[in-house]
Every structure is written in C-alpha cells, then in structure tokens.
A and B are shown apart, each in its own frame.
Chain A
Amino acid sequence: MTSPNPPPVASAVGPVLAVRNLVKRFGKVAAVDDVSFSVAGGTFLTLLGPSGSGKTTVLRLLGGFETPDAGSIALGGADIGRLPPYKRDIGVVFQRYALFPHMNVAENVGFSLRQRGVATGERARRITEALEMVGLEGLGGRAPSQLSGGQQQRVALARALVFKPRILVMDEPLAALDKHLRERLQDEIRALQRRLGITTVYVTHDQAEAFVMSDIVAVMNAGKIEQIAAPRALYEAPRTEFVARFVGDSNIFRGPVNESRMRLADGVLIAFAGNGAPPTALMVRPEKIRIGKAGHQNAGDNLLQGWLIDMRFLGDACLYRVRAGAQEIVVRDLNRTDSAHFAAGDEVILTWPAADTVPLS
C-alpha cells in the first residue's frame, strides 16, 4: 500500500491555497485557533486529528459553510474567506455523501452544470465522462438509494469534480465504509487525484489513511496545527508528544536532561540526537528497539534491562511489553526466521541507536 510519493508537480506561481491565521469560535471555544498553512498546486494535503480537533471546521471554512472570525483564505491569490459557498468554485465531498435523494445519479452529477447553464448535450457528455472516471458508467439512471455505500461515494466524488473546481475538499469520505472497500477507495481516490493533478484537502482521523493518501499531513489538536510535514518526516521526527502519540505507536521517556542524555527515574541514561532547546520528553518507536536475551550484548547507544510482562503474536510481528525499571516499554519485533522467541517473565535487554531517540517539546 505504501507508494513512493514523488514530489507533487511544483507550481511556479506559489501556493494554490493559502490559509492565514484562521480563527473560528463557537461561543467561547475556539474550534480553529490561529491556523495557517498553504498547499502547492496538485498537492494532496490531509488534516489529521482526533474528533474535536478542529479539522472539520477548517474544511467547513474552506467550503464557505462557516464564516471565519479572523484570518484569510486565499485561493489562487484571491481572498475567498467571505464569499458564499456557491461562488467559491470548490468541490466538496461530504462525510455522508449528501447525494440528492430525489435525483438520479446523472442528475446528481449534472447538478453543478445545470446551475452554470451548461447546454443539455454538453452536460450529458460531461456526466458520462465523470461517471466513467469513477468507474460507474451506465449507472446514471439509478437512484442513490439503489447504490452501495462505495458507489454512493464515487457518485459524490464525480459530482464534486465534474465542474472542474479549483480545489477538492473531502470530509472523512470513507469513514462509513468497511475496511477492504476503504483501502480500495483510498488507492482509487489517490490515483484519480494524481491523474487530474487537482489540489486536494482531505480530512480524516485515521492515521493510516492519511499516510497512504497524502503528500503532506497536518496534525491538528485543540484547534491548532501541531505539525505539518510529509508522512515520513511526521513519523520519524514528530516535534510534540501529541504528534508522537497520535501518529503511530511510541515509547515516551521523561526525566532531567543533561546535554544529549536524559536520566530516567532509576538512574539509567538515554542518549538522543539533540540540537536546540532541551526536550521535555524523548520518544522511540517500538520497531526501532531490538530485543535480546540478557547476557547477549547487542550493539546500540541505549540499553535497558528488564523482564517481559507479556507477548502478543500479530502474525507479521511480535509485540512485547517489557518492564524496565519504572518504565513499561513496547517493542515490535518483526517475525523473521532468525527472530528469537521470548516468553513472559524472561529477562531481556533492549537496545537502540541514539539517532532513533526523538526529542519532543
């Protein structure tokens, strides 16, 4: 599923979408609290965050369904922050598809063209083209209620793209689908987005989905963007504890820091590759840690001794929970032929390089 993400086609004229200092309050709560980001032409950007983090509100501000309390939204250089939705030229795919139940598939897809006064013949041609694009050729006469969830989602996508909008925004479009269908549509949507080269802003709470689909991921928390980066950078170098915990699994260490060492409660020192301000915590990913039998010295900058609390066999890997001093550490060991096996109660040592220890602020 991981695709080698080539950098998106660079746009010579700056970002297509530029959001500056956006604020939206509901009562006293700032749902969106000073959010800024920009998206280059053809880029797939995902807003990733837990529910209530403000990601959907950002999307609704982009769509024009909410009015910002402060800040600007520039599309192709022009401020659209105060335009009504029908003047924005943004294709929107809604969480529950929002297909018009009293219209058939073709009428749904052609709705935007009718609003724009596109002649009947041209309209029919473009509806057919859009339905072919999402693999629904020949289903134009069906009612939305006669379609499966996946097909309805495709209609919603065709409807949002048929009028050639300047950007496409999607609000958790796959949340209601089962896992297999969701993964298939992730690939399809991504492939379609690349082929059309359409700038896309996508909202999800599913980290795996965000990683599979996106060029850039913005992690949101409490109305703010915590970090915005390519998936790999986000995973390997999360800047905050929130990002480290929300994206992938993590082991977090705390303690006083002296230069590039942290002293844990039991006196053990953890080395990290640090520069800049002293971190408030350190993080290491479960799969970066090597687990070995006590007595067998593994190479590594950091070494912890402990005993195995329990082991979960996942098929492709084993997940170990290890008690080391006051700390409980999770280790993910790939299931290779030469992998050692451990049982609960075994004495083990854990090692990993300082370079894999990420300082968090």
Chain B
Amino acid sequence: MPRVEHGWVSVFFHVIAASALMFLLLPIAMMFPLSLEPGTMLRFPPQGVSLHWYSDYLKDGAWIASTILSFQVALGAALLATVAGTFAAVGLAQASPFVRNAALLILMSPLFLPTVVAAVAIYGVYAALRLVGTPLGLVAAHAVLTIPFVLLNVQSALAGAPRALDEAAMSLGAGPVAAFWQIKVPLIRRGIAAGAIFSFLISFDEVVIAKFLSGTQAVTLPKRMLDGIFYEMTPMLAAISVLLVLMNAALALLALALVRGARKDT
C-alpha cells in the first residue's frame, strides 16, 4: 500500500477511519450507561446511576441457570470441536489433495451454510432422536458449527510443525503416538488453544440453533436474552450485555495473542 502523504489527505483518511471505529464501537459502548438505569425502562441518558440490575441478574435463579448452561454447553462444544478439529487438521495434512479438499469442503460448510438452514435440519434430526431440549444436543450442534475455527487455527499452526520433524522423531525411535504427543502437539498447541477459545466464544454467543433446540429445558443465556427482548425489555439485558462484552473481549485478546505467538514461533 502506498504511503499516504501528510496534509489534508492524511487528515481525511484519519477522520474516515475514526468514524468507522465509532460506528462499530458506539452501540456496544452505549450498553454501559444503559445498564446503570435505576428504572425498568431502557433509557438514554439514564435517569440515575445504579448497579441494581447487575445484582438482580446474579440473584435470579432462571438467569443464572441459563448462564451456567451456556458455560457448560460452550465448554463441551469447545472440547469436542477442538479434539475433532485438531485430529482432522493433522490427518488431512497428510491426505491426498482430493481427499483433503473434499473433507475440508464438508467440514468448513458451517461457515457458508446459513445457520438457520442448519438449525432446521438439525431440529428435524434431533426431534427423531429426542435430543431437542437437551444440553448434549446443543453441545453436538455447536461443536459442528465451531469445528471450522479449530481447523483453520490448527492448519495455520501446522506450518510450524513440518513433516520432516515427524520423520526425524520416528527415525529416532518414536512411534506415531509418541511423535504426535511429543513433537506435533507441543508445536501446534497455540493454534489448538486459539481454536478452542474461538469455539467457546462462538458457542457461548450462538442463538439461532439455540432458539430451535433449547425447548423448555435447555435455555441458554443468549436464547433467554432474545426472549427477554420480546417479553420483558429491562436494563438487566444491558447489564448482562456489558458482562458478555467484557468476557468476549478478554478471550478474543487471549486468542489473538496466541495466534501472534504461534506466528512468531514458525
């Protein structure tokens, strides 16, 4: 990219960039003042300053149950997707190009298939299997949805673990299992961790599939929030949103640091 000259052109681009950032961040930042509203209506500017919606959330059994469920589902989905995605990435790196491309197309399909289509399809299958409204059903569906993110992260990490290192390990007496755990895994661990964090984040925030599969028993946090928008729109939603934004930002930063570190290793 050509270096931008100083002067009005530079100012112009800075203004555009700043505007774009504001456009992205302002609605999210708005959540914070909205969550401080003492009344029952979402209002800006707030009529006072209070943290009682935060404590109401923490004291509400149904909301906390949904929160715990979301953590369980997201952890389960991340674990499942990380194991499956890592093995897939490592295995496919050694497959023939035809097999590799075919398998990647299938595994990556959640990225370009509309989630609502997947949700309807999964709902149909789950209804027959009696998995609707079960945490296990959500874990499996979310794992499928997040495998592409593990796959992409591990694939790029594999550049730092060339095949020659496996061969070296095997020539030195390590069987395939020892070579995998002692050479491959340590070298791609940052990619695996980054993939796991992305999986967790995506599952935790996922609402379309949850909307279909939650039933009355397994209502995740985003699903309950979505319902809340329709039935009881209070500043508590803003308070929960602020907490979610903080958690997501922290995890996303961690994942980015891991991806950067992995790149530095190679």
Contacts and interface: CB of A to CB of B under 8 A. Distances in A.
B257 to A, nearest CB: 18
Interface in A88-120: 88, 90-92, 94-96, 98-102, 111-112, 115-116
A102 B186 contact: yes
B165 A115 contact: no
Contacts of A163: 172-173
Nearest to A159: B172
A85 B167 contact: yes
B173 A115 contact: yes
Nearest to B167: A65
Given A86-B175, A98-B164, A100-B183, A111 B265 contact: no
A77 interface: no
Contact of A86 (B165, B171, B265): B171
A98 B173 contact: no
A63 B168 CA distance: 10
B226 interface: no
Most buried by B among A63, A84, A99, A100: A100
A115 B164 contact: no
B167 A100 contact: no
A86 B187 contact: no
Size category of the B interface is: 10 to 19
Contacts of B183: 100
A159 B171 CA distance: 10
A287 B265 CA distance: 52
Contact of B174 (A63, A65, A86, A88): A86
Nearest to B265: A101
Nearest to B165: A98
B178 interface: yes
B170 interface: yes
Contacts of B160: 101
Contacts of A65: 167, 170
Contacts of B178: 115
A168 B187 CA distance: 27
Contact of A102 (B162, B172, B187): B187
Contacts of B175: 84, 86
A86 B167 contact: no
Interface string A51-93: 0000000000001110000000000000000001110101110
B169 interface: yes
Contacts of A90: 171
Contact of B167 (A91, A92, A159): A92
A91 B164 CA distance: 14
Grouping DSSP codes into helix (H, G, I), strand (E, B) and loop, the B interface class, with mixed when no group exceeds half, is: helix
B168 A100 contact: yes
B169 A100 contact: yes
Nearest to A94: B164
Interface residues of A, number: 25
Given A94-B164, A98-B165, A100-B165, A85 B170 contact: yes
Contact of B187 (A88, A94, A101, A112): A101
Interface in B33-67: none
A163 B173 CA distance: 9
A116 B173 contact: yes
Nearest to A169: B171
A116 B172 CA distance: 9
Interface string B145-180: 000000000000000101011011111111100100
A63 to B, nearest CB: 6
B164 to A, nearest CB: 4
B164 A96 contact: yes
Contact of B170 (A86, A91, A100, A102): A86
A91 B171 contact: yes
A63 B167 CA distance: 9
Contacts of B165: 98, 100
A102 B183 CA distance: 8
A63 B169 contact: no
Nearest to A96: B164
A203 to B, nearest CB: 15
A64 B172 CA distance: 12
Contacts of A98: 162, 164-165, 167-168
A215 to B, nearest CB: 23
A84 B162 CA distance: 19
A90 B162 CA distance: 21
Given A94-B164, A96-B164, A115-B178, A63 B186 contact: no
A92 B168 contact: yes
A192 to B, nearest CB: 19
A24 B80 CA distance: 40
Interface in A175-201: none
Interface-centre pick from B164, B175, B178 (highest chain A CB count, 10 A): B164
B187 A115 contact: no
Nearest to B183: A100
A131 to B, nearest CB: 16
B51 to A, nearest CB: 46
Contacts of B174: 86, 111, 115
Contacts of B169: 100, 111
Please give me the 3 A-B residue pairs with the lowest Cβ-Cβ distance, nearest first. Answer: A115-B173, A112-B172, A85-B170
Interface of B: 160, 162, 164-165, 167-175, 178, 182-183, 186-187, 265
10 contacts: A65-B170, A84-B170, A85-B167, A85-B170, A86-B172, A92-B168, A95-B164, A99-B168, A100-B183, A115-B178
Given A86-B175, A100-B169, A111-B172, 14 more contacts: A63-B171, A65-B167, A85-B171, A86-B170, A86-B171, A86-B173, A88-B171, A95-B164, A98-B167, A98-B168, A100-B183, A102-B187, A160-B172, A163-B173
